[in-house]
């Protein structure tokens, strides 16, 4: 029985790692495509305005969509890489066990906040949907621009929840599923 439960938990954790990897790939793709499309759209707007003396009226609305998409895919990506903002002066002086406890509590709280923000952003999108607002240039419903917001918050919440699991599984303190706590050691002779 113990061997079977160990296999089941290993299978569960390997499945979580696989899901995390797939989300990471999707985030990277969304960020890359969003930034490329934003750049192409901006350049097309500038060329249209200054070369052909005729502005593309939809570029601002389209760029707003890309900015929201990149921002909310980016928060999850930053959490995955452990690149979120940290105020660590108090945290850094704690013993390892308290760092671990504090990291788990911070990740639980942050996951809760992200899931809550996802829920409230869905309510906001539904409110915009009920107004029937349409983007004037693109002619699409205004709520479509904000669809990335709950997705970004939800995936970020998942990322923090996975970090909690990672911190329970291993002795070391993890900032994210792949990033250990700590600072890189810099060789003082290599700094100019």
pLDDT tens digit sequence for 7-59:
766 777 788 778 888 888 888 898 899 899 999 989 988 888 888 887 777 88
Could you write out the three-class secondary structure of the chain? CHHHHHHHHHHHHHHHHHHHHHHHHHHHHHHHHHHHHHHHHHHHHHHHHHCCCCCCCCHHHHHHHHHHHHHHHHHHHHHHCCCCCCCCHHHHCCCHHHHHHHHHHHHHHHHHHHHHHHHHHHHHHHHHHHHCCECCCCCCEHHHHHHHHHHHHHHHHHHHHHHHHHHHHCCCCECCCCCECCCCCCCHHHCC
Stated pTM of the model: 0.79
Give 62-116 pLDDT, tens digit per residue.
888 889 889 888 888 888 877 776 667 777 788 888 889 988 999 999 999 999 9
CA distance 76 to 110: 12
């Amino acid at each position: 029985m113990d061997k079977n439960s160990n296999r089941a938990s290993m299978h569960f954790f390997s499945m979580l790692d696989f899901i995390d990897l797939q989300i990471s790939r999707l985030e990277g793709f969304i960020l890359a495509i969003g930034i490329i499309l934003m750049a192409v759209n901006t350049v097309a707007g500038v060329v249209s305005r200054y070369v052909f003396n005729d502005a593309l009226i939809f570029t601002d609305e389209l760029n707003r969509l890309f900015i929201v998409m990149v921002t909310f895919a980016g928060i999850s990506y930053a959490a995955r890489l452990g690149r979120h903002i940290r105020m660590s002066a108090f945290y850094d002086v704690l013993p390892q066990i308290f760092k671990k406890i504090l990291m788990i509590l911070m990740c639980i709280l942050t996951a809760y906040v992200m899931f809550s923000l996802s829920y409230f952003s869905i309510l906001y999108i539904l409110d915009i949907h009920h107004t029937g607002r349409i983007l004037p240039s693109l002619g699409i419903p205004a709520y479509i621009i904000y669809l990335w917001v709950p997705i970004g918050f939800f995936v970020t919440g998942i990322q923090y929840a996975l970090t909690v699991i990672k911190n329970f599984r291993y002795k070391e303190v993890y900032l994210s599923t792949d990033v250990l706590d700590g600072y890189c050691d810099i060789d003082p002779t290599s700094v100019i």
